[in-house]
């Protein structure tokens, strides 16, 4: 680990929320060159990450203050890097894709060191961390759940005894499947593989269903 | 009624899907002047309508072919007008907000007559209809459900006997509350008032939860 997260103003971004969603952005542009007029193509599916961010943090007239979203950016030019957004502390976030991507772009303009685990607070409730899946798995607290269509139904789990008191860490992929290496790492740490629908859904749709199961039964 | 929908190529857009979502766009720009770089402000919350469209029609690698989305545009300069998008027939729709708003803008450039009920097919799976809530209520087939936080839980309804075989018509508001006049019209026709969460959610989030309840139990 690089810089000790205890040195930062505020808490460790990986340990400050009860509900954590970690989204793999396999091709997502990893610096301030996100192109707002082409989030889908040239920016490596930042449209999907922006939707995941918004779906994960927004209520109708409030934020989910118990939730953090961690977007793992694996696209060029500066991977791997995580941008973490804490629903309790973030400011200036709007629900539309363009505005939320613009806020992420602004934060990603800050230069980040090369040592795995280095974390920088770039604005209220937003942190950058150098590292990939292993770094995240080293840092998080509480059980790991892999979201996958093949998993056990989360609502059934909640009705039949629940999934503990949290904090929880839900790992989802973007529009691409998890790679074999990612799956192997995650399965070695996962407390369970969960599904939320009989159909195959977009990441942001699955996140809304996870929240709903926890809101109802958590 | 103006033009008879039977004259159109294809089906009546209000009667071709089992799942219909009708979204009130209280300030939504109602012609081809939607401003893609400011969907949220200058376009009258078209960001929310674009998210509703995408959330309602997209599966991970497919479309919901049993679903139509009807966006009721009540903002300037040419209200009231409905743009209907049929998941079974629409082409060129992408999941990101900007691209879906761009497709709607293109279709909204077609001039529409002034007679209430006039319907025009503007591209595959997309129709414009002149009229407001009363026109929609005259045209639809099957029961009307009002989505509102005060309603009965949809999952409970599904478990305890369901909500019939469909077609279903789910009415939701955008970020503004239904007006008293809208509520009065809807309540006079509604078979039920439904809720999907113990929390107050965005329109698109509620739509995903409606779909999920139907996917599980419908």
- pLDDT value, residue A109: 98
Domain membership of residue B110 as a residue range: 1-218
For residues A116 and A81, the answer to whether their CB atoms sit within 8 Å is no
Spell out which residues of chain B touch residue A98, defining contact as CB-CB under 8 Å: 37, 39-40, 47, 97-98
**3-class SS string, A16-37:** CCCEEEEEEECCCCCCCCCCHH
Check which CATH number belongs to the domain holding A34 and give it.
3.40.1280.10
Q: Which of B40, B94, B196 sits opposite A40 (nearest CB)?
A: B94
How confident is the model at residue B125, as a pLDDT?
Answer: 95
Burial category of B6 from C-beta neighbours within 10 Å (exposed 0-12, middle 13-18, buried 19 and up):
exposed
pLDDT-derived band at B170 (thresholds 50, 70, 90) equals very high
Closest CA to A99 of B202, B58, B29, B98: B98
Question: Does the pLDDT of residue A154 top 70, yes or no?
Answer: yes
Nearest CA-CA partner of A88 in A107, A113, A110, A63: A63
Q: What is the mean pLDDT of residues B193-207?
A: 98
pLDDT at B9: 61
User: Can you tell me the distance from the alpha carbon of A17 to that of B217, in angstroms, rounded to the nearest whole number?
Assistant: 33
Distance CA B199, CA B75 (A): 28
Could you tell me the pLDDT band of residue B205, with boundaries at 50, 70 and 90?
A: very high
Angstrom CA distances, A29 to A72, A104, A112, stand at: 10, 11, 15
The mean pLDDT value for B131-155 works out to: 96
Task: Collect all residues of chain B within an 8 Å Cβ-Cβ radius of residue A212.
Answer: 196-197, 209, 212
B59, A99: Cβ pair inside 8 Å? no
Phi first, then psi, for residue B14 (nearest 5°) are -90, -5
Contact check, Cβ <8 Å, B205/A209? no
Tokens of B28: 């939504």
What pLDDT does residue A10 have? Answer: 59
Q: Which of B90, B95, B206 is nearest to A211 (CA)?
A: B206
Residues A13-17, mean pLDDT to the nearest whole number: 97
* Per-residue confidence (pLDDT) for residue B10, from 0 to 100: 59
The β-bridge relationship of strands A144-153 and A168-173 is parallel
pLDDT digits (tens, 9 = 90+) for A113-152: 999 999 999 999 999 999 999 999 999 999 999 999 999 9
The mean per-residue pLDDT over the stretch B178-194 comes to 97
Q: Let me know the angle formed at the C-alpha of B124 by B122 and B126, rounded to the nearest 5 degrees.
A: 55
Q: What is the pTM of this model?
A: 0.95
Tell me the average pLDDT of chain A.
Answer: 94
Is A97 in Cβ contact with B96 (below 8 Å)? yes
pLDDT (tens digit, 9 = 90+) per residue, A37-64?
999 999 999 999 999 999 999 999 999 9
Q: What is the pLDDT of residues A156-190, one digit of tens each?
A: 999 999 999 999 999 999 999 999 999 999 999 99
CB pairs under 8 A between A and B: 95
The pLDDT value recorded for residue A108 is 98
pLDDT above 50 (res B28): yes
Q: What does the pLDDT average to over B157-178?
A: 95
Grade residue B3 by pLDDT with cuts at 50, 70 and 90: very low
Region of B44 please: left (phi>0), alpha (psi -120 to 50) or beta.
left
The total of structural domains in chain B comes to 1
Asked if residue A18 has pLDDT above 70, the reply is: yes
Structure tokens at A192: 């369970």
Residue B121 has pLDDT above 50, yes or no: yes
**Alpha-carbon distance values, A173 to A136, A178, B22, B169 (Å):** 14, 6, 31, 33
Mean of the per-residue pLDDT values for chain B?
94
Which residue numbers of B have CB closer than 8 Å to A's CBs? 37, 39-40, 47-48, 51, 55, 58-62, 94-99, 175, 196-202, 204-205, 208-209, 212, 215-216
Are residues B28 and B49 in contact, defined by beta-carbon separation less than 8 angstroms?
Answer: yes
Question: A3 pLDDT exceeds 80?
Answer: no
Structure confidence at residue B218 (pLDDT): 79
Handedness of CA B98, B101, B103, B106 (dihedral sign): negative
Q: Which positions ≥6 away from B94 have C-beta within 8 Å?
A: A40, B100, B103
Residue of A58, A199, A202 with shortest CB distance to B202: A58
Query: Cβ separation of B96 and A62 shorter than 8 Å?
Result: no
Mean pLDDT value of segment B147-151: 94
Percentage of chain A beyond pLDDT 70 is 95
* Closest by Cβ to A205, choosing from B48, B198, B208: B208
pLDDT score at B8: 52
Confidence of residue A31 (pLDDT cuts 50, 70, 90): very high
Min distance B129 CA to chain A CA atoms (Å): 27
Question: What is the least distance, in Å, from the CA of A51 to any CA of chain B?
Answer: 8
Structure confidence at residue A110 as a pLDDT band (50, 70, 90): very high
């Amino acid at each position: 680990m690089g810089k000790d997260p205890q040195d930062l103003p505020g808490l460790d971004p990986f340990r400050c929320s009860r509900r954590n969603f970690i989204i793999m952005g396999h091709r997502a542009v990893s610096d301030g060159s996100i192109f707002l007029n082409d989030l889908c193509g040239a920016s490596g599916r930042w449209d999907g990450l922006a939707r995941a961010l918004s779906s994960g943090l927004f209520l109708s007239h409030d934020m989910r203050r118990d939730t953090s979203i961690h977007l793992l950016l694996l696209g060029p030019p500066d991977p791997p890097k995580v941008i973490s957004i804490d629903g309790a502390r973030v400011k200036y976030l709007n629900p539309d894709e363009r505005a939320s991507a613009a806020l992420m772009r602004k934060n990603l303009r800050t230069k980040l060191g090369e040592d795995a685990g280095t974390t920088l607070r770039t604005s209220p409730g937003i942190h950058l961390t150098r590292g990939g899946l292993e770094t995240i798995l080293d840092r998080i607290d509480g059980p790991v759940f892999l979201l996958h269509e093949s998993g056990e139904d989360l609502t059934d789990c909640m009705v039949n005894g629940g999934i503990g008191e949290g904090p929880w860490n839900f790992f989802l992929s973007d529009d691409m499947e998890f790679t074999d290496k990612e799956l192997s790492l995650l399965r070695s740490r996962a407390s369970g593989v969960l599904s939320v629908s009989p159909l195959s859904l977009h990441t942001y749709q699955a996140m809304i269903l996870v929240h709903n199961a926890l809101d109802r039964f958590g």
